[in-house]
Amino acid sequence: MYNSVGKRVPRYDGIGHVTGRTQYVSDVKMPGMLVCKTLRCPYHKARIRSIDVSEARTSPGVYAVITKDDVPHNLFAMVPDHHVLAEEITRYRGQNIAAVAAASRDAALDALARIRIEYEELEPVIDPEEAIKDGAPQVRPEGNNHLFDGNSLTRRIRRGNVEEGFREADFIVEGRYTTPSQEHAPLETCCTVAYVDAPGRLVIHSKAQGLYFAQGDLANVFQLPLNRLKFIGGTIGGGFGGMNSIHTDHIAGLLALATGRPVRFALTREEEMLFSTIRTPWIFRIRDGIRRDGVITARQVSVLHDCGAYTELGLYAVEKNANLIAGANLIRNLEVDSRMVYTNKMPSGSMRGFGVNVGQYAEQVQLDRLAHTVGISPMEIRFINAFHTGDKNHTGNELASVSTIETLQKVAAMSGQTLPEKYLAWSSAPLSPNTNSGK
Amino acid sequence: MSQILRFHLNGNPAEVMAGEAETLLDTLREGLGLTSPKCGCNRGDCGACTVILNGNAVKSCTVLALTVEGKSVWTVDGLVDGERAGEPEGGESPAPRSLSGHKLHPVQTAFHEYGAPQCGYCTPGMVMAAVAFLDRNPSPTEEEVKDALSGNLCRCGGYKKYVQAVMAAARGEFDPLPERSGRNV
Amino acid sequence: MIRKGRGMATVYYPTGFNGGGDPDLVSLRIKVDGTIDMTNASCEMGQGFKSVAIQMAAEALGISESLITIDNTNTDTAAFSMDTAGSRSTYIVGLASISAAEDLIRKIVTFAAGVLGVDASELKYEAGKVFRASDPDSAMTLAQIGAASTYGGVFIIGVGGFLPPPGPPRDPETGATIPSRSMAWGSTVVDVEVDDETGVVEVVNLYDCYDIGTVINPLMAEGQVDGGDVQGVGMGLFEDLSPCFPKNLEIYASNYTDYIIPTFMDIPRHSEIEFIQSHDPYGPFGAKGCGEMVANTQPPAIVNAIYDAVGVLVDSLPATPEKVLRLIDEKRKTG
């Protein structure tokens, strides 16, 4: 039916990969290129009492030293609340405070050592369950709790009537699940080479997953019109969502503007692990009502997302998580209450599956608990509660092209499981009242 | 203190200034401008910088440059350009060619045809680790391949196809494995 | 003692940004020799974007993918892309490519009508040729059109875009909205071996069945799933930056020694992938998003398999040997 679609065409740039000819940002070299290193806050939270970069500026081989005062607009990110260089109060360990461009790595590190800075260490809050409490140390002036729609501590989903659903249940099952901090850990660390070109435009070789996204964000930081700012990239040594956040482009760009020379800012593996955005922790509590026949009659979910110190993509992850947390099951009576709290750690970036896979871990483990409780197989509970084409999901999304049942049938066959006849006969076609479980 | 380092790089004599604390990876990338060995961790964890040193796959970030004096180093560049194992021939063969028109090493061909590399950043190191391994063990089992390559990380997770591709290269699915000419000097 | 267990998980995943509203643009420019330059600034990070984008443009133009190159390299020349995220590129760039191809074909036909001195309505475009419907031998090839237009001072460039319709604003009380019109589906079964003396878990078999609609390039899709399996194993068993969280962040991984990502030795001993080839009513050629979902089923399936093997429920990821062993000990003590 198709000519090109469906073909096993080898990778377009595969020859470059296997011959080592593919050029990544970290391979870009320019004549006279300077090296950037940054001064990072050693505390989870601190007040910068004073900072003096004058000696660093005169250090041998140094071309520029910048602090927050040198940033035209010191806020960036998808939700632009992240500081390019720290303001008076730092919010997480490793936050960038000052940046140096120098002729060599050693000269840059020497200059960092010559920055005179006086900190007052402040009490941080790391645990999200502590951070939501009244009187917890404040991560940001607006408070630790994100207010959804400007006024609500929780982001809600309401469907049906959970009290009725629980009354209808034969069993009530509760679970608490947590997921940890994860790092994207692409083999190529974050890297930027920035320079000013002949017509005076700022050009940035970037690892960004969204070149235009980064361009729009940083045009604001640099206060440049879009036609004075060019992003080059599009082939990167791994992203996994991490390169939806800006880690080096902003600072390298500022230093290129400050020096008029090419500047390279590459994170070491250690910096990337310790200080870049991460998949931040989540805590889920799920309370389910289930009938003896395996039908889930009610579900209550409470979610706490530890967003870290700045919003970055955390809010987006909460939205996506809430929409999908009830899983690929038709649940008629549902309450979801999600909260997002700020803590003194690296901000929540996006990471493959973000918001969704953490919730699906909790939901799918809980589902097996339900199966064990009523004494049916994990396979059966998934058949019984599966969505069908035409069903509305938990946010009222009418589902087209549904195939939970088909994937279950196939994966059972692949793994050598024999399904009961009735499940083999089921399909995801729209339910009529007489088919399947008749739920 | 820098001094002159002389060694054989991809079959040709190379001469470059290198510092006492400089790694072979830095010398190759910075001193000699070869960007195929990649830096992923700079501490021997990831294998993106793997090169063949006197016939053995080594992580060039863990080798001090000055210790390779007089020795033979091969990078992925040498598989097609330096060694020129496969000169361009009549345009009949559908086999993939290097950008310079040369036949690829069977490991490279297999990696490409099996879709093993994803982002590609681990690939040059993976090629060299696989070539050095097949030089030593041309008819391996899958378990031996996994074991031999286990020092090379691929965060995209392309391991399965890498194993399949090395097995395909070993059984001569594309071209017979060449003699380990040169790379073992 | 080694104990065997089997577990499973079923998920679904939206294609594109949450709530839609994330556009992409594509341009297709015909060159003098009839080859095509495609542009779109999505990022190639290993998922196979470039290959898949070219295949979809080739399909829409009815020509070989070898005639098409793609420029995604910079914000001066590559058409706008909102981002490379949210399992969106195949779907949205695909639909934008179809729209750009239709525009290119329209412009080619109009140009050919001028050259041939006929009305455009008399012409048909098929597989890289424009011809009079009544006389298939009257064809102009793309190469002829490329030369005649360029040297005739006519710039032929097909442009198109796609915007996933924005969902209604989320109802603050009920959460009602439309996150995505297109959903991908999948189920995974894993077999594990748990050493109940060390707590070490090994994934033995892994079976994935995913519905990502039409599979544009099976080689690239398999790569995505293989990678998902590996990253899923990492999330399920190994990856934790700060194992003492939330008590403190002082013990924190800073390298690949402390932050354990899977190696060759950690992949399932045996794995199989099947795609259910459904047809998404909205997606390009029936395709849905693939990238993220295929890394979601493994962690819960592994945890469920551990329960099947040794009867303990790991309710905090990852299922490290220490955690598994502590739970086994606890279970023994409480009988």
Output b/e per residue, C283-313; b: 16+ Cβ within 10 A: bbbbbbbbbbbbbbbbbbbbbbbbbbbbebb
Chains contacting C (3+ CB pairs below 8 angstroms): A, B
Asked if the model's pLDDT at residue A53 lies above 80, the reply is yes
Residue C215 has its nearest CB partner, among A6, A12, A404, at: A6
Distance of CA A259 to the CA centre of its chain: 33
All domains of chain A, ordered by start, with CATH? 155-182+278-425 (3.30.365.10)
Q: Is B39 on the interface with A (CB under 8 A)?
A: yes
Asked if the model's pLDDT at residue B103 lies above 90, the reply is no
Residue B46's nearest CA partner among A8, A436, A272, C148 is A272
* Region class of B5: left (phi > 0), else alpha (psi between -120 and 50), else beta: beta
Q: Rounded CA gap, C228 and C108, in Å?
A: 42
Between B176 and A101, whose confidence is greater? A101
pLDDT-above-90 percentage for chain C:
95
What's the pLDDT score for residue C138?
83
Chain B hits for A13, Cβ within 8 Å? 120
What's the gap in Å between the CA of C252 and the closest CA on chain A?
A: 7
Q: Is B60 on the interface with A (CB under 8 A)?
A: no
What's the pLDDT score for residue C96?
98
Candidates C226, C271, C296, C298: best to mutate against B (most CBs of B within 10 A) is: C226
Please state which of the ranges A38-52, A169-183, B75-89 shows the lowest mean pLDDT: B75-89
CB spacing of B124 vs A24 below 8 angstroms: no
Chain A with chain B: Cβ pairs closer than 8 A: 102
* Amino acid making up residue B153: L
Q: Report the chain A residue with the minimal C-alpha distance to residue C74.
A: A232
CB spacing of C265 vs B152 below 8 angstroms: no
Residue A232 has its nearest CB partner, among C74, C183, C261, at: C74
Instruction: Report chain C's mean pLDDT, rounded to a whole number.
Output: 96
Q: Is B47 on the interface with C (CB under 8 A)?
A: no
CB spacing of A365 vs C300 below 8 angstroms: yes
In CATH, the architecture of C2-14+183-334 is 2-Layer Sandwich (3.30)
B180's tokens: 């380990």
CB spacing of A20 vs B153 below 8 angstroms: no
CB A19 within 8 A of CB B105: no
Give B87's pLDDT tier (boundaries 50, 70, 90).
very low
All domains of chain B, ordered by start, with CATH? 2-75 (3.10.20.30), 78-170 (1.10.150.120)
What's the gap in Å between the CA of C124 and the closest CA on chain B?
A: 34
What's the pLDDT score for residue A436?
47
What's the pLDDT score for residue C249?
86
pLDDT tens-digit readout, A417-437 = 999 999 999 999 998 655 444
Cα separations in angstroms, A88 against A41, A119, A149, A376, C102: 11, 10, 29, 58, 55
CB B26 within 8 A of CB B90: no
CB spacing of C256 vs B41 below 8 angstroms: yes
Chain A hits for B78, Cβ within 8 Å? none
What's the pLDDT score for residue A322?
97
Asked if the model's pLDDT at residue B84 lies above 50, the reply is no
Candidates B35, B36, B153: best to mutate against A (most CBs of A within 10 A) is: B35
Distance of CA C170 to the CA centre of its chain: 26
pLDDT tens-digit readout, A205-214 = 999 999 999 9
CB spacing of A19 vs B35 below 8 angstroms: no
ipTM confidence score: 0.96
What's the pLDDT score for residue A309?
98
Candidates A21, A104, A187: best to mutate against B (most CBs of B within 10 A) is: A187
Q: Is C253 on the interface with B (CB under 8 A)?
A: no
CB spacing of A181 vs C240 below 8 angstroms: yes
Please state which of the ranges A424-438, C162-176, C301-315 shows the lowest mean pLDDT: A424-438
Which CATH number applies to C24-162?
A: 3.30.365.10
Chains contacting B (3+ CB pairs below 8 angstroms): A, C
CB atoms within 10 A of CB A93: 22
Residue B41 has its nearest CB partner, among C230, C255, C263, at: C255
What's the gap in Å between the CA of C172 and the closest CA on chain A?
A: 7
Asked if the model's pLDDT at residue A394 lies above 90, the reply is yes
What's the pLDDT score for residue A258?
98
A183's tokens: 């790092």
Instruction: List chain C domain ranges.
Output: 2-14+183-334, 24-162
Q: Is B161 on the interface with C (CB under 8 A)?
A: yes
What's the pLDDT score for residue A229?
98
Interface residues from chain A to B (CB-CB < 8 Å): 8, 10-11, 13-24, 26-27, 29, 184-189, 236-240, 268-269
What's the pLDDT score for residue B179?
74
CB spacing of B161 vs C222 below 8 angstroms: yes
Average pLDDT rounded to a whole number, residues A388-395: 95
DSSP element (H, E) containing B53: strand B50-53
What's the pLDDT score for residue B180?
64
CB atoms within 10 A of CB B169: 27
Q: Report the chain C residue with the minimal C-alpha distance to residue A201.
A: C76
Residue B106's nearest CA partner among B167, B177, B57 is B177
Q: State the burial class of residue C132 (Cβ atoms within 10 Å of its Cβ: 0-12, 13-18, 19+).
A: middle
Q: Rounded CA gap, C50 and C60, in Å?
A: 15
Average pLDDT rounded to a whole number, residues C219-244: 97
Give B23's pLDDT tier (boundaries 50, 70, 90).
very high
Q: Rounded CA gap, B72 and B58, in Å?
A: 12
* Fold match, C2-14+183-334 / C24-162: yes
pLDDT tens-digit readout, B105-150 = 999 999 999 999 999 999 999 999 999 999 999 999 999 999 999 9
CB B14 within 8 A of CB B8: yes
Residue A186 has its nearest CB partner, among B98, B108, B155, at: B155
Q: Report the chain B residue with the minimal C-alpha distance to residue A236.
A: B119
Strands laid side by side in the A229-232 sheet:
A62-66, A96-102, A34-40, A263-266, A191-196, A202-205, A229-232
Q: Report the chain A residue with the minimal C-alpha distance to residue B114.
A: A10
CB spacing of B117 vs C263 below 8 angstroms: no
Output b/e per residue, A224-255; b: 16+ Cβ within 10 A: beeebbbbbbbbbbbbbbbbbbbbbbbbbbbb
Give B85's pLDDT tier (boundaries 50, 70, 90).
very low
What's the gap in Å between the CA of C107 and the closest CA on chain A?
A: 23
Please write down the HEC assignment for all residues of B95-147. CCECCCCCECCHHHHHHHHCCCCCCCCCHHHHHHHHHHHHHHCCCCCHHHHHH
CB spacing of B117 vs A18 below 8 angstroms: yes
pLDDT tens-digit readout, C279-300 = 999 999 999 999 999 999 999 9
Output b/e per residue, A357-377; b: 16+ Cβ within 10 A: bbbbbbbbbbbbbbbbbbebb
Asked if the model's pLDDT at residue B56 lies above 80, the reply is yes
Average pLDDT rounded to a whole number, residues C20-38: 97
Between B94 and A216, whose confidence is greater? A216
CB C82 within 8 A of CB C24: yes
What's the pLDDT score for residue C193?
98
Chain A hits for B75, Cβ within 8 Å? 20
Taking the model in full, what pTM does it have?
Answer: 0.96
CB spacing of C178 vs A244 below 8 angstroms: no
pLDDT-above-70 percentage for chain A:
98
Rounded to the nearest 5 percent, the helix, strand and coil shares of chain A are: 30, 25, 45
Q: Rounded CA gap, A279 and A354, in Å?
A: 7
Q: Rounded CA gap, B155 and B153, in Å?
A: 6
Location of structure tokens 């595969």: A14
Count of helices and strands (H, E) across chain C: 6, 11
Q: Report the chain A residue with the minimal C-alpha distance to residue B48.
A: A187
pLDDT tens-digit readout, A288-329 = 999 999 999 999 999 999 999 999 999 999 999 999 999 999
CB spacing of C264 vs B152 below 8 angstroms: yes
